[in-house]
Amino acid sequence: MTIILCFSATAQTAKTRRFTLPSNIAAVVGQDSDILLKNTAIKARLKRLLGQKYASFMESFETLNPVTKEEHYLFSTGCLIHACTHLESAIAIDLVNRTVHAAIFRQDEKTRYFNEGGKATPKVIRAWANNLRQINSGTNNSQSKSAFATPDAT
């Protein structure tokens, strides 16, 4: 009986064990997102979080962006070469709760969100996805009207 309980406890521990984020993870701000994506702990956690969607997520990081700090999140995005705003992915690391969040945006599909521990999708990821939806629907007003103005004829 004792042996069975030991095996059961070991199986549960292995199943629920999570790779710990590096203590100095916030130091990656300003560096390309591949520094996050290649980190052993983050990579393992992304693979577990995304499952079969991991390859699709990583495909979108052909073009890298720097890691930024948005409130208490490390945040970065990437896109498929020549398909930015159409095929993108995002990652956010919650520095307070030490959780990993990801999203996959495809122009003609519903955006997919992935959040560790059943946490809510961070505002920084929702804003990124909403901006991409607006760009693709032609309702983004972030471009200045002067960019479309023609020079005065003299």
Domain boundaries, the chain: 25-137
- Considering only residues 16 and 109, tell me which one the structure prediction assigns the higher pLDDT: 109
Percent of the chain whose pLDDT exceeds 70: 78
Percent of the chain whose pLDDT exceeds 90: 72
The pTM is what? 0.78
Could you tell me the pLDDT band of residue 6, with boundaries at 50, 70 and 90? very low
- Considering only residues 74 and 143, tell me which one the structure prediction assigns the higher pLDDT: 74
Domain spanning 25-137 has what CATH number? 3.40.1420
DSSP the chain: -HHHHHHHHHHHHHHH--PPPPTTGGGGTTSBTHHHHTSHHHHHHHHHHHGGGHHHHHHTTSEE-B-EEETTEEEEEEE-TT-TTTEEEEEEEETTTTEEEEEEEETTS--EEEEGGGPPPPHHHHHHHHHHHHHHHT----S-GGGGPPPPP-
Q: What is the pLDDT of residues 31-64, one digit of tens each?
A: 999 999 999 999 999 999 999 999 999 999 999 9
